[in-house]
Amino acid sequence: MSKNKNPKNSSAKQPEAVKEEKVQAAPAAPEADLDIFDDFDDDPLGATGVSRKSLVIFFLIDTSGSMKGTKMGELNTVMEELIPEIRRVGEADTEVKIAVLTFSTDVKWMYSEPINIEEFEWARLTAQGVTSMGAAFKELSLRMSRNSFLNSPSLSFAPVIFLMTDGYPSDDYKEGLKTLASNSWYKFGLKAALGIGNEANDDMLAEFTGSKDTVVHAYTGNQLAQMIKIVAVTASQIGSKSMTLADQNDEELSDEDVYASKQKMLGQQIQELVAKNDNDDVSFDSGW
Amino acid sequence: MTELNIGQEIDIEQGGKAKVTGILGSGGQGVVYSVEYNSTAWALKWYDISKMKEPAEFKANIKKNIEDGAPSNKFIWPKYLTKNMPDGTFGYLMDIKPESFDSFVDILNTYKLKVDPMTGRAIKYNVRFTDLTAMVTACINIANAFRQLHRAGKSYQDLNDGGFFINVDTGAVLVVDCDNIAPDGANFGIGGKPGYMAPEIVRGIAKPDVQTDKYSLAVVLFKLLFRGDPMEGEKVVKDVCLTEAAELRHYGSEAVFVYDPDNDSNRPVRGIHDNVIKFWRLYPDYIKNAFIDSFTKGLNDPNRRLIENDWQKRFIRLRSEIIACTCGRKNFASMFEAVDDATYKCPKCGMTFATLKFSNREQRMPLYIGSKIYVCEIDPKTDDYISVAGELVENKLKPGVLGLKNTSDMMWRVRMPDGVYYDIEPGKGCPIWQGLEIQFGDTNVSAWI
């Protein structure tokens, strides 16, 4: 619950270093004996909030020079508006946190650790420099770790990772992506990407998300706002909302059946929503 | 989906138009608007039909539910359907939830957020039961609501923390989101919410029905009392990341109750599940066993899940075994010292409490100022757990003298210290003393100290 913007504390919680992290290690202490409770601390109404699963939403945002102007203005505005909208998506089961990584010439986190969405305040971004996307992937991989940003003592959902860019990387993004691909949190995470304007390359974005379904494109300011909302809201709701049943089977589901099922569901839902919003097709760069 | 604008008018099937006045919220299936219809304010649930597999069947089911009517006043039931828009979109009108009820989600979180209209900032407000009796009453009400629904031959299908509103001062319950309710055996596509779904649904081998509702009911009751997830313990937390495969295992094929007496692999973890650890030891065995049975024997055998009436009876008993001491301590009798078979003592201030033995049950009911006997407890013919038949009060004319007041509509026959039986009319009372005996009207139930 408590907000902690001090990066030192975040690493102090998990002192032991784990290099090649598998999403498996156990930090949990076993149940202690009951004497830890004060004699009269037995009020059946004295509850703290129910233990929640943690969900971190990573926004990777291109702040290179080409984003200057309308795109950045639109993005800042929609993000400010979006935060209150997705505030209660986790309901009682999920504690949603936000982390924002911007990349231009340098790679920079908006805050030094993920912030609880109830306390998150959007710091307006400005655009300048080149597009170091590969470096951003590496930085993300470094932080998507039990010892860093994903240090919640309780259970976590795989993170949501949402990439937004308007251009082609100016560094070796493939190498960065390779680093990221070895990260289990990335492997199980929900990945989505938004290409902005004519320069953004959807094929490259699909390499990042792993599928074309979760890549959307915005050519106008209006679309940009819509797409960000569609992707962020849909992605953050998967896992904590009531779900519909799959069409098929009366056969028992196996691990293979459910593998990446949320990523597929996300792709489907995004595509459905995008299809419905497909009515505004004047390009960003046209009509000036 | 077709979104509605404020001021827009929607045709209602019964005739007339509902005028949109605002937005109340949005969920997975659509948006809820406030509307005005026949000069009354209503909530309009407006569907995103693109997310529905069979909108026509879904609508027909709601129509049937409207015709059947709500099983009781605990349900915010669909009242009127709208006509379809040209693209097929539709919705239904229901009552607006009263202000005095809080969502179960907020109760679990122990707070709610309200946006200050002046600053746009969200402010936290505490949401907690103000009284132990209210919390136990909420459990009775929830079990009772689903008993009524299931007796009507319907299942709720998507039982979860978003489906209830509770008055934290009284324990009154309102069941909302009644649109997925369908005849037992029918399903219009809903699966349920992760963490609340029965294992056989998670595993993909069953669809929601009355038996899966019973599992979800046990989860809801567990969360309400113990403030944690019945299946989330050491085994689950070890996985760190709840991937789809992990979810399938921990909530489906390999689910283990955190207090399974025969399997300690999934015990609650200190620092994460403190609520569960703390509260589990406070409850008497007949409550703990109800959860143990539901989540062990009933885990994979739907027929062995506790039936609603069993839950209802156990919580009615639990309510009668609460002691409110004058020192402020209010807890279950099991958390007071038992001086002997018939007397409890407050471990904090030393005050002692006499108990009443009833002819129709084993357990004794502790007596304290304000303790109540409910109609169902003295009349086997009814399950009225709301009407109060008797209450322990202090005599207004003789301060310090405690007695039982007859608040029922039956005559009581009471044995007094002179050994003679007297009639106590409704509205009258009698002092309590060692040797008191009460016969409650013609119910064949009696009680004595």
Helix (H) or strand (E) holding A82: helix A70-85
DSSP string, B205-227: S----HHHHHHHHHHHHHHHHH-
List pLDDT tens digits, range B328-339: 999 999 999 999
Q: What is the pLDDT of residue A234?
A: 83
Q: What is the pLDDT of residue A278?
A: 61
Nearest-by-Cβ selection for B348 from A40, A92, A259: A40
CATH superfamily of A35-40+53-277: von Willebrand factor, type A domain (3.40.50.410)
A18 in contact with chain B, both atoms CB, cutoff 8 A: no
Q: What is the pLDDT of residue B122?
A: 76
- Contacts B275 to A, Cβ<8 Å: 47-48, 50-51
Q: What is the pLDDT of residue A167?
A: 84
Strand partners, B33: B23, B44
Averaged over successive runs of 10 residues, the pLDDT of chain A (288 residues) comes to: 42 40 45 46 88 91 93 91 74 85 95 91 93 95 91 87 91 93 92 90 93 89 84 79 65 81 85 70 51
Interface of A with B in 257-286 (CB under 8 A): 257-262, 272, 276
Tokens of A64: 């290179």
Q: What is the pLDDT of residue A285?
A: 53
**pLDDT confidence tier of residue B325, bands split at 50, 70 and 90:** very high
Q: What is the pLDDT of residue A89?
A: 60
Q: What is the pLDDT of residue A247?
A: 54
Q: What is the pLDDT of residue A283?
A: 54
A40 in contact with chain B, both atoms CB, cutoff 8 A: yes
Q: What is the pLDDT of residue B340?
A: 93
**pLDDT confidence tier of residue B367, bands split at 50, 70 and 90:** very high
Strand partners, B8: none
Report how far apart the first and last C-alpha atoms of chain B are (Å, whole number).
66
Helix extents (H) in B55-131: 55-68, 104-109
Q: Is the pLDDT of residue B171 over 60?
A: yes
Nearest-by-Cβ selection for B205 from A31, A53, A252: A252
Count of Cβ atoms closer than 10 Å to residue A136 Cβ: 27
Interface of A with B in 190-219 (CB under 8 A): none
Cβ–Cβ below 8 Å for B204 and A246: yes
Provide the residue ranges of all domains of chain A, joining segments of one domain with +: 35-40+53-277
Interface of A with B in 142-181 (CB under 8 A): 146, 153-158
Q: What is the pLDDT of residue A250?
A: 67
Do residues B275 and A48 lie in contact, with contact meaning Cβ atoms separated by under 8 Å? Answer: yes
CA–CA min distance A40, chain B (Å): 8
Q: What is the pLDDT of residue B30?
A: 83
B327 in contact with chain A, both atoms CB, cutoff 8 A: no
Cβ–Cβ below 8 Å for B158 and A242: yes
CA–CA min distance B158, chain A (Å): 7
B364 in contact with chain A, both atoms CB, cutoff 8 A: no
Identify the DSSP state of B249: I
Among residues B215, B208, B207, B191, the alpha carbon closest in space to that of B296 is found at: B215
B112 in contact with chain A, both atoms CB, cutoff 8 A: no
Interface of A with B in 74-103 (CB under 8 A): 84, 87-88, 91-93
Q: What is the pLDDT of residue A87?
A: 73
Q: How far apart are CA B95 and CA B78, in angstroms?
A: 8
The torsion of the CA quartet B132, B136, B141, B144, rounded to 10 degrees, works out to -170
**pLDDT confidence tier of residue B152, bands split at 50, 70 and 90:** very high
Cβ–Cβ below 8 Å for B122 and A118: yes
A13 in contact with chain B, both atoms CB, cutoff 8 A: no
CA–CA min distance B67, chain A (Å): 26
Share of chain B above pLDDT 90, in %: 83
**pLDDT confidence tier of residue B115, bands split at 50, 70 and 90:** confident
Q: Please report the ipTM that was assigned to this predicted complex.
A: 0.82
**What is the residue type of B132?**
L
> Hey, is B28 helix, strand or coil?
coil
List pLDDT tens digits, range B12-50: 999 999 999 999 887 667 889 999 999 999 999 999 887
